[in-house]
Amino acid sequence: MPTNFFPVLVLQSGVKVVKEPPKGLKANIRDSFLLAVWKRLLTSLSYFHAIIQERRKFGPLGWNIPYEWNQSDFSASIKSLFTYLSDYEGVPWVALKYMTGVINYGGRVTDFLDSRCLQTVLRRFFDPVVTQPGQFNITADGVYCIPSDVTSIETVKDYLSNLPPFENPELFGLHVNADITYNRNQSRKQLQTILSVQPRSKTGGGMSTDEKVFAIAVEFESRLPPDIDKSKGHEDTYRITESGTMISLGTVASQEIDVFNTINGKLKRTLKELQRGIKGEVVMSAQLESMYNSFILGQVPQNWHEGGYLSLKPLTSWFEDTLARIEFLRDWNDNGIPTSFWISGFFFPQGFLTGVLQTHSRAFKIPIDDIKFRTNVTHNQSADQVEDPPETGVYIHGLFMEGARFNRDTMSVDESIKGELYTKMPVIWLEPVPRATQTIRNDTYSCPMYKTSSRAGALSTTGLSTNFVLSLDLDAGAKPPDHWILRGVALLCMLDD
């Protein structure tokens, strides 16, 4: 209608755009259907956006890397959803999933396993079942759902206002233990903050701070073993083949021993320097001061981390773990190839696994690129039960499962017991087989293996995280593989304690 306050020139130079009512019965029904589908899928997309953001609070169980998804990703996905519903007959599910999961949200994802999880979450919300009339339950109890009526904004507001204040981890596809992990991590952070501001001077009876740090340094130094002498190695450890080359596992052992001899030497040197610094015999450098403060807080000094292996353990546990790794390599050096390998004891486990494949490649004259590992979980609960090495491949032990447990009765992945955050894995036989061999079935879960529970690491030249070792194909059991992907199930080489 004409108005007195709107400039006439603007109206005269403007273009009037009107959406005409659809003509014909077919067009009317289609537009009505798309309107209903649009509102349900918009609600579903809102759930997806919220869930992938809230999974971040669970740390590595949610995402290996906490990505900064924001409103612009959501807005772009809404535009894509509107465009595809308007321009296509029916719902183009493949295009919608690609634009939303790979382009709009997936464009920020750098970890291929996070990308796998993102696609799995998206499949829950971009599914033809979502568009069916009636309530679509997201959780089994129906508390979180897409209501049957989403035509009115007031109805949606009423539904949202009645949601509980605290979310069950099931909403995010996680086990109830995820809440325990989250609360434990938060408590640790608070304790570390409290410890960092505690007074460090002697306020009463007992040892002073200098005396405590000095005592730790003396004890650690007294427990350090001598370096491993490769010249006294067992003949099987560094066996020379007919072609005149050392066996692949001998090369791996030699390199690992060099690394841990270097670490052992660094510990001896820095512990002596710290003792002299406390006594006042040398100037307390910035490095020694940092080491001193780390000892007070029970943390591993930064100069020990540099050039060392990935670990999240506190100081005492880290020192015990280092001694155990040195003894593992010493036994390998002095007594020959072990029947089962402690996979957690390697500085670079990826190199060890490559050495195993190379051994098989040389023995059977097969290109190393044409072979892979088949995972066979044994009934042996510990390495002591393994009597003889396998004919091909290797036995490995020392792994822990997080996010689920391995059921030794069904020999498959199963739900965690409440309160049990980690479970120890049985001995695993890694069997080299031709790459063409079918090792993955519909009920196979490709379970990633990481060095530490943080799961994140620097991007290596292979394009993979330095924390990632490889994926093992495990029987998914009664649940589909997607269930365990949402659970964040992974194998860890070591725990944080």
Q: What is the pTM of this model?
A: 0.88
How far, in Å, CA of 38 to CA of 85, rounded?
7
pLDDT digits (tens, 9 = 90+) for 198-220: 766 655 556 788 999 999 999 99
How far is residue 225 from each of residues 137, 306, 370, 392, measured CA to CA in Å?
A: 60, 20, 42, 34
Q: Which of 43-57, 291-305, 448-462 has the lowest mean pLDDT?
A: 448-462
Instruction: Say if residue 19's pLDDT is above 60.
Output: no
What is the pLDDT, as a whole number, of residue 154? 87
pLDDT digits (tens, 9 = 90+) for 351-392: 999 999 999 999 999 999 999 999 999 999 999 999 999 999
Instruction: Say if residue 156's pLDDT is above 90.
Output: no
Compare 261 and 8 and report the one with higher pLDDT: 261
pLDDT digits (tens, 9 = 90+) for 316-348: 999 999 999 999 999 999 999 999 999 999 999
How far, in Å, CA of 308 to CA of 55, rounded?
31
| pLDDT, the chain, mean | 89
Instruction: Say if residue 27's pLDDT is above 80.
Output: no
Instruction: Say if residue 460's pLDDT is above 80.
Output: no
CB-based contact 328:345 (threshold 8 Å):
yes
How far is residue 148 from each of residues 49, 167, 332, 360, measured CA to CA in Å?
A: 20, 21, 65, 59
- In this structure, the dihedral spanned by the alpha carbons of residues 326, 330, 331 and 334, taken in order and rounded to 10 degrees, is 180
How far, in Å, CA of 104 to CA of 98, rounded?
9
Instruction: Say if residue 287's pLDDT is above 90.
Output: yes
Tokens 């992990």 belong to residue: 181
What is the pLDDT, as a whole number, of residue 209? 87
What is the pLDDT, as a whole number, of residue 26? 47
Which of 177, 156, 179, 158 has its CA nearest to residue 47?
A: 156
What is the pLDDT, as a whole number, of residue 202? 57
Tokens for 337?
């190839």
pLDDT digits (tens, 9 = 90+) for 401-447: 999 999 999 999 999 999 999 999 999 999 999 998 877 788 899 99
How far, in Å, CA of 88 to CA of 99, rounded?
15
Give the model's confidence band at 4: pLDDT under 50 very low, under 70 low, under 90 confident, else very high.
low
Which of 300, 301, 306, 344 has its CA nearest to residue 318?
A: 300
What is the pLDDT, as a whole number, of residue 197? 75
What is the pLDDT, as a whole number, of residue 225? 96
Instruction: Say if residue 45's pLDDT is above 70.
Output: yes
Instruction: Say if residue 15's pLDDT is above 50.
Output: yes
> What percent of the chain is modeled with pLDDT above 70?
90
CB-based contact 449:396 (threshold 8 Å):
no
What is the pLDDT, as a whole number, of residue 408? 93
What DSSP letter does each residue of 449-491 carry, written as one string? EESSTT----B-TTSSBTTEEEEEEEE-TTS-HHHHHHHT-EE
Give buried/exposed letters for 219-231 (b at 16+ CB in 10 A, else e): ebeeebeebbeee
Instruction: Say if residue 36's pLDDT is above 80.
Output: no
CB-based contact 304:271 (threshold 8 Å):
no
Instruction: Say if residue 277's pLDDT is above 50.
Output: yes
